Amino acid sequence: MVLCLCFSNFFFFFFCSMEYQVIPVKRFDEVIEHLRQNFFADEPLNKAVNLCKRGEGHKYLEEHSLKTLEANLSVMAVSDANEIAGVVLNGILRPGDLQAAKKKLQTKDDEKYRKIFQLLYDHNLQTDIFEYFKIDKAFDMSILSVDEKFRGKGIAKHLVENSESLAKKHGFKLLKADATGVFSQKIFKSAGFEVLHEQYYNKYVDNDNEIILPVESPHIKLQLLYKRLD
């Protein structure tokens, strides 16, 4: 009986001990490698245009990720073997940032990348969140990624909760996230986020009525979600 208990405690510890930390500069390279192995290949919009193969790097996605990491507001889940099990990359969004980013997008020589970010920027620009929520900055949760090996353990949910605490600590009044797939949409909703607007992928078409981003099921729409903090 006692032995049994010890065993189950041991396994509980073994499988459930995950530490959540703000990502330090010295682990940025490891985070990029994690994204190459997971998010870059798995994210529904990347997948729809075949942006990169698993393990492959991507110049613009990596630039974008590093720039976000440099705000020092991103959070990682670290296993007891010190592996990165999951990350959420959080940045600061200020008035005019999206307009500037959209303009800069035209200079990027990668049509697939431009297609993805054109949708994301245009979708975000439908509402001036700074005016709408009376804020001067938003905590922007731009990438949520969990290693395949560690999925189904509630890590994404904990990453979002830890980010919320961090945002509060830094005085943010609004969390925002663009969720491109059903899994992240479910997680943000269960964390108390609300949908500001959404775009069905099969209604996002060009002049010839062709679907621009043929996203695979079960993902059907892009959602812009937010959560007010006070």
Ligand X SMILES: *[C@@H]1O[C@H](CO)[C@@H](O)[C@H](O)[C@H]1NC(C)=O
Site for ligand X, rule CB under 6 A: 25, 70-72
Tell the smallest beta-carbon distance from residue 167 to ligand X (Å).
Answer: 15
Please give the residue whose beta carbon sits closest to ligand X in the complex.
72
Tell the smallest beta-carbon distance from residue 69 to ligand X (Å).
Answer: 9
DSSP assignment, residue 141? Answer: E
Residue number with CB closer to ligand X (5 or 25)? 25
Q: CB of 34 within 8 A of CB of 87?
A: yes
Tell the smallest beta-carbon distance from residue 159 to ligand X (Å).
Answer: 19
Nearest to 14 by CA among 79, 86, 77: 79
Residue number with CB closer to ligand X (68 or 79)? 68
DSSP assignment, residue 95? Answer: T
Per this entry, what is the length of the chain? 230
Q: CB of 198 within 8 A of CB of 124?
A: no
Helix axes 155-169, 182-190, angle to 10 degrees: 50
Tell the smallest beta-carbon distance from residue 214 to ligand X (Å).
Answer: 38
Question: Hey, is 91 helix, strand or coil?
Answer: strand
CB environment 19-35: b (16+ within 10 A), e (fewer): ebeebeeebeeebbebb
The kind and range of the H/E element at 22 are strand 18-22
Residue number with CB closer to ligand X (71 or 220)? 71
Using left for φ > 0, alpha for ψ between -120 and 50, and beta otherwise, residue 171 falls in left
Tell the smallest beta-carbon distance from residue 71 to ligand X (Å).
Answer: 5
Residue number with CB closer to ligand X (29 or 194)? 29
Residue number with CB closer to ligand X (27 or 36)? 27
Tell the smallest beta-carbon distance from residue 75 to ligand X (Å).
Answer: 14
Residue number with CB closer to ligand X (46 or 142)? 142
